[in-house]
Amino acid sequence: MTLDEAPLLLMLVGLAAYAVLGGADFGAAFWQLAAHGERGVALREHAYRAMGPVWEANHVWLVFVLVVCWTAYPQAFASIFSTLTIPLFVAALGIILRGTAYAVHAGTAREIERRAVDAVFSISSILTPFALGTAVGAIASGRVPVGNARGDLVTSWLNPSSIAVGILAVATGAYVAAAYLAGDAARAGLDDEAAAFRTRALGAGVVTGAIAFTALAVVAADGDRVGERLLEWPALAAVMASAVAGLATLEFVRRSRFEAARYGASAAVAAVVIGWALAQQPELLPGLTVEQAAAGRSTLVATVVGVVLGAVVVVPSLAVLFRLVLRGRFDPKAAAGEHPAPQRRSRRGRVPLARFAAGAAALGLPLMLIFDRGPFLAIGVLALLTFVALASVALAAAAAANGRSDEDGPESPSG
């Protein structure tokens, strides 16, 4: 691997993670749309609950892919976004509607409100992966030329390959989501929901498999270069791996071994992304190889180093979040007052915050007014910020604490 390809590898990791995790979030909403009646309400609530703690983090993978793309391969990014304006704008609107619907879902009280919010949520959750899928199909079938909106604004994404990949994106999300939700329900002891999602996972697995084969055939027939290469080594190996993982997942689901199914489904989706990448190389877009598209060396090095440093913080954090979720710590039944109440600490020996704050202000103000730049200005800025922080703590704590005996309060003065 060369330095030019290194950011691409990072993007692929991000894309696979988004296809699996983001796809599962979209898929969960797909099942909400399909859920009716009293049992439907239970299924919908389960889907919201299971997604709640993780969907925002899952969504960040998409942003990660975009920012690495425009940093490391700026011309490819600009070409894709200008030609594929329509599907990507639709995806953007879908993302807004979806996030908003999720945010307001917690406040719904009446059935009619719940239905309206669910409808917006589900429809945008189908529209968004479909639109993103058509964009992938457009790139894979070589319909995005290099340049500012140089491709056809409509046929670039309204074509057999794009439609096939768009449908596949919705279907795989639904499949993965059903497997995840069955597992989450089983863990939370919701046996009815677990059984319901098990059935859905089995059905969706079969349907998704059929769609995947059809999509493969469509892309192979439609796309010139990438389509053919999908059926050649090494891309074919990834395609086969995906098929095997998909079948294995079906068997795990059938045996209600949902944890294994969770990883099997994830592997099946990730393998599709890898297969696409293998078929696509070495060109990102027609006439633009990875090497030609890559930014200068200093940018690539800075990006890779930045991502590695970021990963040192984020990967363990993600691990903590997923462990808490997968061990059921955020499930409703886990809420319990088993922790000791806080011990009030002695007030003795407390730092006279107000005095420090006044000192910081006295130091910071003149420095900031006198210096335009340099270390003294920096000290001044830090000192003034310190003043705001310390004075806030001291004042707000005191003002909040003495409310009981304040004359403005509802209670009579005592002191």
Partner 1 sequence: MMSLPLLAAAPFAPVDQDYLYEARQMQALSFAVHIPIVCFGIAFPAFVLFLEGLWLRSGDPIYRTVAKRWSKVMLALFAVGVVTGTILSFELGLLWPNFMATFGEVFGLGFTLEAFSFFTEAIFIAIYVYGWDRLSPRAHFLSGVPVVVAGFTGSLTVISVNAWMNNPSGFTLEGGRVSDVRPLAALFGNDFLWHEVIHMYVAAFIVAGFLTAAVYAFAWLRGRRGRYERVALVVPLTVAALAAPVQIVVGDWAARSVARDQPTKLAALEGLYETESGAPVHLGGWYDGDEVRYGLPLPRLLSLLAFHDPSARVEGLHEVPADERPPVNVVRFAFQTMVGIGFLLAGISAVYLFVWLRRRRLPRSRWFYRGVVAAGPLSVVALISGWVTTEVGRQPWVVHGQMRTEEAVTGASGIPIGYVSLVLVYAGLLAAVVWILRRLAQAPVEVESGPRGVAPLLAGAARREGEAER
Q: Within 65-94, which residues bind partner 1 (CB under 8 A)? A: 66-68, 70-72, 74-75, 77-83, 85-86, 88-89, 91-93
Q: Which tokens is 192 given?
A: 């009815």
CB-nearer residue toward partner 1: 190 or 196: 190
Among 34, 39, 56, 155, binds partner 1 (CB under 8 A): 56
Cα→Cα distances 388→20, 102, 352, 354, 374, Å: 44, 35, 15, 10, 22
How many amino acids of this chain bind partner 1 (CB under 8 A)? 122
Q: Which of 1, 37, 109, 111 binds partner 1 (CB under 8 A)?
A: 109
| Residue number with CB closer to partner 1 (124 or 159) | 124
Site for partner 1 in 243-262 (CB under 8 A): none
Long-range pairs for 248-253: beta carbons < 8 A, 24 or more residues apart: 249/175, 249/179, 249/205, 250/202, 250/205, 250/206, 250/209, 253/179, 253/182, 253/198, 253/201, 253/202, 253/205
Among 6, 40, 59, 379, binds partner 1 (CB under 8 A): 59
Residues contacting 70, CB < 8 A, separation 6+: 77, 78
Residue from the set 146, 176, 211, 218 that interacts with partner 1 by CB under 8 A: 146
Residue 74: both structure tokens together: 């700026």
Beta strand pairing call for 288-289 and 283-285: antiparallel
Q: Residue 172, by phi and psi: left (phi above 0), alpha (psi -120 to 50) or beta?
A: alpha
Q: Per CB under 8 A, which of residues 322..381 are in contact with partner 1?
A: 324, 329-330, 334-345, 347, 365, 368-369, 372-373, 377-378, 381
321 binds partner 1 (CB under 8 A): yes
Q: Is 123 in the site for partner 1 (CB under 8 A)?
A: no
Among positions 148, 155, 214, 256, the unique one binding partner 1 when judged by CB under 8 A: 148
Q: Which residue, 147 or 243, has its beta carbon nearer to partner 1?
A: 147
Q: Closest CB to partner 1 among 60 and 217?
A: 60
* Closer by beta carbon to partner 1, 1 or else 414: 414
CB closer to partner 1, 221 vs 320: 320
Handedness of CA 195, 108, 90, 123 (dihedral sign): positive
Q: CA dist 333 to 108, 252, 408, Å?
A: 22, 26, 42
C-alpha–C-alpha distance, residues 69 and 285, integer Å: 13
Residue 119 binds partner 1, judged by CB under 8 A: no
Q: Decide: 270 and 238 in contact? Cβ < 8 Å.
A: no
Rounded to a whole number of angstroms, the minimum distance from the CB of residue 119 to partner 1 is: 13
Looking at beta carbons only, is 33 or 66 nearer to partner 1?
A: 66
Q: 12 or 230: whose CB is closer to partner 1? A: 12
Minimum separation from the CB atom of position 51 to partner 1 (A): 11
Site string for partner 1, 36-55 (x = CB under 8 A): ----------------xxx-
Smallest distance, partner 1 to C-beta of residue 307, A: 7
Nearest to 168 by CA among 197, 131, 133: 133
Q: Which residue, 37 or 415, is less far from partner 1 as judged by CB?
A: 415
Q: Which of 1, 111, 400, 412 binds partner 1 (CB under 8 A)?
A: 400
Q: Among 5, 6, 158, 292, which residue sits at the site for partner 1 (rule: CB under 8 A)?
A: 292
Is the peptide bond prior to 7 cis by the omega test (within 30 degrees of 0)? Answer: no
For the stretch 330-339, contacts whose Cβ atoms lie closer than 8 Å and that sit 24 or more positions apart, written own/partner, are 330/52, 330/53, 331/49, 331/187, 331/188, 332/49, 332/188, 333/188, 333/189
Contacting residue, 127, 245, 273, 294, with partner 1 by CB under 8 A: 294
Q: Between 256 and 402, whose beta carbon lies closer to partner 1? A: 402
Identify the sign of the CA torsion 309, 313, 318, 323: positive
**Binding segment (CB under 8 A) for partner 1, from list 168-176, 201-209, 221-229, 321-329:** 321-329
What is the dihedral sign for C-alpha 293, 295, 297, 303?
negative
